[in-house]
Amino acid sequence: MNDVTVSKFGSVAFSTPDMVKRTADVIMSDDKRRYIIVSAPGSRNNEDVKMTDLLFILNSRYENREDFSEMLNQARLRFTDIVRGIGVNFDVDAEITAVKKNLFFGKGNDFVVSRGEYIMAKIFAEYLGWKFIDAADCIFFGRDGTLDMEKTFAATEKILSDVSHAVIPGFYGSVGGTGIKLFPRGGGDITAAIVARAVDASLCEKWSETTKIYSADPAIVDNPTVIRHITYEELKQLNYMGVNVFHEDVIYLMQGIGIPIRVRNIHDVDDEGTYVTAELPADSHRSVAACIAGKRNYRIIHIEKFGLNRLTGIGQKVFGIFTERNISCEHYMSGIYRFSIVVKNPLFDLKRAEILQALKDAIHPENIKVEKNLSLLTIVGKGMGTVKGIFAKIFNAIADAGIKVKMIEQGSDDLNIIIGVYDEDYEAAVRAVYGAMILN
């Protein structure tokens, strides 16, 4: 590993001239920060539209043959305001004219939207006096739309091998020679992961305004603790439960070679943030559980039939019926005469009659029951399943809160315990488990 840091800054870091200057100060305060991934400018206030969204609107207006001049002008003014405010010599008009020209040449939505990061990165490179490297020269998508990893890593590594300090726009790469393709929203994180891997960085940072990773939802638990250390595996579990710190692909790319990620908050630069690593450091005094997360609004479908235990292929038939309708079976439980599936609503409700009929035809059950309003609460913590007395702790807390448990599942990877409770008990259950598992 090389002793360099790749730092991705989210849109807020480029929202105003003052934020751009603060971002530069953060970079200069640590000389290991040598590869900077830039986002398009964020909104300056509640009425403002993020540059990325503005460009999406601009392109759709163009495609619908509506007037888009207002959007183009707003983009021009936003960049001009930044350029003047930070005092760099940069021809914004030439860039905006190029966007317009390429719009007429039919370069498409992804090209237009990518210009938010492209222009901002060029301006920022000028301000820092560092080299601008276009992501289109480093990141390549195949014709099927997936990232061409081999070509991407080879090109990025080669280009950056001669460049000690670079500013690189996030969120896009090139496709088919001259085209541009965007990553999913928030995809600048993926650019950062690619660059970190290509330069074999010892750290990849993500700076944004929202990213403090709490051990429980602050809307449910008062002042939950901030998680200081979490493992890649634990974060993947949280991603699945809707705590989206960054795109799954980022964890995949970083975990593959063990580059630590550090999540920081640009409004609180003294806060140490959260480290994501393969293992918890020996001096981390974290509780076994990292976090309590969850989601509401699931359904459980119970299929009851005498002699079910003696039949073979029940699971296959049931899963097949859901798969054919593109509904993922989140969990299942099997009893002696009962097979139960947990699915997400509202997709299930849309196809409910059709699915129940298909289950009846395939299995001829005595009874099918659908239970509504189930919430799933997940307690995430690496190795948690192996700790003695953990179940007693959790279920005593839930029982003391007077909550009925509908379902229990211990992940086979010892990373989580999932508990199903009725929606109306969900918040009380989160508070009870938080008290028992995080505070104690």
Quick check: 52 binds ligand ASP (CB under 6 A)?
yes
Stretch that binds ligand ASP, among 91-99, 185-193, 216-224, 424-432 (CB under 6 A): 185-193
Which one of 188, 273, 294, 420 is in contact with ligand ASP (CB under 6 A)? Answer: 188
x/- string (CB under 6 A) for ligand ASP, residues 121-160?
Answer: ----------------------------------------
**Among all residues, whose Cβ is closest to ligand ASP?**
188
| DSSP category for residue 380 | E
**How buried is residue 338: exposed, middle or buried, by Cβ count under 10 Å (0-12/13-18/19+)?**
middle
Stretch that binds ligand ASP, among 72-80, 184-192, 324-332, 391-399 (CB under 6 A): 184-192
Q: Least separation, in Å, of the C-beta of 171 and ligand ASP?
A: 4
Quick check: 39 binds ligand ASP (CB under 6 A)?
yes
Cα-Cα-Cα-Cα dihedral sign, residues 291, 292, 297, 300: positive
Quick check: 40 binds ligand ASP (CB under 6 A)?
yes
Q: Least separation, in Å, of the C-beta of 220 and ligand ASP?
A: 27
CA dihedral 240, 244, 245, 247 (to 10 degrees): 80
Which one of 171, 246, 275, 298 is in contact with ligand ASP (CB under 6 A)? Answer: 171
- CB closer to ligand ASP, 169 vs 365: 169
- CB closer to ligand ASP, 95 vs 409: 95
- CB closer to ligand ASP, 170 vs 365: 170
Phi then psi dihedrals of residue 161, to 5 deg: -65, -25
Which two three-digit tokens encode residue 360? 């009846």
Q: Least separation, in Å, of the C-beta of 60 and ligand ASP?
A: 16
Q: From CA 358, how far away is CA 380, in angstroms rounded?
A: 35
Quick check: 231 binds ligand ASP (CB under 6 A)?
no
Residue type, 31: D
Is residue 97 within 8 A of residue 19, CB to CB? The reply is no
Side by side, which strands form the sheet with 201-208?
131-132, 166-169, 33-38, 2-9, 201-208, 261-265, 274-277, 229-231
Is residue 203 within 8 A of residue 72, CB to CB? The reply is no
Contacts of residue 369, Cβ cutoff 8 Å, sequence gap at least 6: 301, 302, 304
Stretch that binds ligand ASP, among 78-86, 94-102, 186-194, 315-323 (CB under 6 A): 186-194
**Where on the chain is the footprint of ligand ASP (CB under 6 A)?**
10-11, 39-40, 50, 52, 170-171, 185-189
